[in-house]
């Protein structure tokens, strides 16, 4: 089949493209990406050599351009990763999040209906459930947990999820949704916690931990997220939502200390800075449904995944050093320059 993958020049989308090209030699993968600050064509360098892969630089909000690609490629399936994905940026400037994450999703679904796509998959996030208290480790997000968003980013992703549900029920779009916890691994943009801490530690720069660093995230190696989406796309039930996570909850401060240890850097690099506005305390996914119904289980333990990730950043310095030497420097100055040390 032909699969359209949006946002494939970003972190998870690119890993998914490599996963599909490796595991489904019979399929054709077509990537649509606007190449925003978060999209990087060099990430797809190897894929571009594969005759089963095609790339289009396009904004998913550009209806005419998207329809033209569907007309030409006649996809069987669509996986929509394309999004503005960084919570901190959504707090600075929400508008582009509403445009890409909501209206872009609408365009992709309209195109899927118009061209009779057999499967539409929406890549969503556990952040649509809001957060859990630190003193209730017995609580987890299930697919029945009510939507309760905190940031403009999570509100835009939740809005898209509601639209997907509406398109499925009203227009019969054969859609599924996955809601995954925090990913880490190769090609993770260095504005996010793990790659930012690795890059800063390697340059002996301060490691800015928000608030007290007690917030908990549920980390999953990116390849495990890709295998979950692949399963849902091929075997998931239309109209269903699947939570994806590996029961790997960690406090931010513990992750940062672990990175220091692994890189042989002193913990004195850690600086506690002004907290993120509306900062979610704890995310924790219950993946029982995808395990029970599709037999999905994560393969990579956090210790191994972090080891592989650090190794990747050490051996792909050019990839992230190019990013942090460009426009990213202005971003970093703007976002971290004004943050008070606590
Ligand atoms: P990313 O920011 O690394 O990549 C986003 C990609 O989308 C980039 O290549 C960018 O160029 C592209 N893009 C942005 N706007 C576009 C537009 N208007 N048209 C076409 N392309 C556009 O994001 P990511 O971390 O890889 O996340 C991918 C998806 O997974 C997002 O939908 C996100 O909400 C979801 N998700 C992410 C995580 C995580 O931990 N990173 C966890 C769960 C879900
Ligand atoms: O849970 C899934 C979500 O995970 C995805 O939907 C988002 O697209 C993805 O960006 C991620 O969101 P988070 O806000 O959890 O990830 P981030 O890496 O930005 O932050 C992780 C935690 O680390 C969070 O509690 C904030 C904290 N943090 C982050 C940065 C960038 C710091 O303490 N210092 C930092 O410099």
pLDDT of the chain, 342 residues: tens digit per residue: 999 999 999 999 999 999 999 999 999 999 999 999 999 999 999 999 999 999 999 999 999 999 999 999 999 999 999 999 999 999 999 999 999 999 999 999 999 999 999 999 999 999 999 999 999 999 999 999 999 999 999 999 999 999 999 999 999 999 999 999 999 999 999 999 999 999 999 999 999 999 999 999 999 999 999 999 999 999 999 999 999 999 999 999 999 999 999 999 999 999 999 999 999 999 999 999 999 999 999 999 999 999 999 999 999 999 999 999 888 888 999 999 878 888
User: Around Cβ 146, how many Cβ atoms within 10 Å?
Assistant: 7
Give the fold, CATH level 3, of 2-185+219-247+281-300: Rossmann fold (3.40.50)
Paired with 221 in beta bridges are 184
- Reading the block at residue 75, the tokens are 């996809």
Give pLDDT, residue 338: 79
Nearest CA to ligand 2 atom 2: 182
What contacts 24+ positions apart, CB below 8 Å, involve 297-304?
298/220, 298/221, 298/224, 298/246, 299/221, 299/223, 299/224, 299/227, 300/221, 300/223, 300/224, 302/219, 302/221, 302/248, 302/250
Q: How far apart are CA 197 and CA 233, in angstroms?
A: 33
Q: How far apart are CA 174 and CA 101, in angstroms?
A: 19
Paired with 341 in beta bridges are 273
Decide whether any atom of ligand 1 lies within 6 Å of the 60 Cβ.
yes
Decide whether any atom of ligand 1 lies within 6 Å of the 12 Cβ.
yes
* Per-domain residue ranges of the chain: 2-185+219-247+281-300
Residue whose entry in the numeric block shows the structure tokens 């040390």: 341
For ligand 1, pick from 10, 194, 220 the residue to mutate: most ligand atoms within 8 Å of CB. Answer: 10
Give CA torsion, residues 47, 53, 58, 59, to 10 deg: -80
For residue 194, how far is its CA from the centre of ligand 2 (angstroms)? 9
Concerning whether 126 is annotated as a catalytic residue, the answer is yes
CB burial string 5-36: b at 16+ within 10 A, e below? bbbbbbbbbbbbbbbbbeeeeeebbbbbbbeb
For residue 191, how far is its CA from the centre of ligand 2 (angstroms)? 9
3-state secondary structure of 308: helix
Concerning whether 153 is annotated as a catalytic residue, the answer is yes
């Amino acid at each position: 089949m032909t699969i359209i993958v949006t946002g494939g020049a970003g972190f998870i989308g690119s890993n998914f493209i490599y996963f599909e090209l490796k595991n489904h030699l019979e399929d054709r993968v077509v990537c649509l990406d606007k190449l925003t600050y978060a999209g990087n064509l060099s990430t797809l360098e190897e894929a571009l050599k594969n005759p089963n892969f095609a790339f289009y630089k396009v904004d998913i909000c550009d209806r005419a351009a998207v329809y033209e690609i569907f007309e030409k490629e006649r996809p069987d399936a669509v996986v929509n990763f394309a999004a503005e994905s960084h919570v901190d940026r959504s707090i600075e400037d929400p508008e582009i999040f509403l445009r890409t994450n909501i209206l872009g999703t609408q365009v992709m679904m309209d195109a899927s209906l118009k061209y009779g796509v057999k499967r539409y998959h929406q890549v969503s996030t556990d952040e649509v459930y809001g957060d859990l208290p630190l003193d209730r480790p017995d609580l987890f997000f299930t697919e029945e947990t009510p939507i309760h968003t905190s940031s403009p980013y999570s509100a835009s992703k939740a809005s898209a999820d509601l639209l997907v549900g509406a398109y499925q029920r009203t227009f019969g779009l054969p859609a599924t949704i996955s809601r995954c916890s925090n990913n880490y691994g190769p090609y993770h943009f260095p504005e996010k916690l793990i790659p930012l801490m690795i890059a800063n530690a390697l340059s002996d720069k301060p490691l800015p931990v928000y608030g007290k660093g007690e917030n908990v995230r549920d980390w999953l190696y990116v390849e495990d997220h890709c295998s979950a989406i692949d399963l849902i796309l091929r075997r998931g039930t239309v109209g269903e939502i699947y939570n994806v996570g590996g029961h790997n909850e960690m406090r931010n401060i513990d992750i940062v200390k672990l990175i220091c240890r692994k890189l042989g850097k002193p913990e004195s690099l850690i600086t506690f800075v002004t907290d993120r506005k509306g900062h979610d305390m704890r995310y924790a996914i219950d993946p029982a449904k995808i395990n029970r119904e599709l037999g999905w289980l994560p393969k990579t333990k956090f210790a191994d995944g972090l080891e592989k990730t650090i190794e990747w950043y050490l051996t792909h310095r050019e990839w992230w050093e190019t990013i942090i030497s460009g426009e990213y420097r202005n971003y970093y100055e703007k976002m971290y320059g004004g943050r008070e040390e606590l």
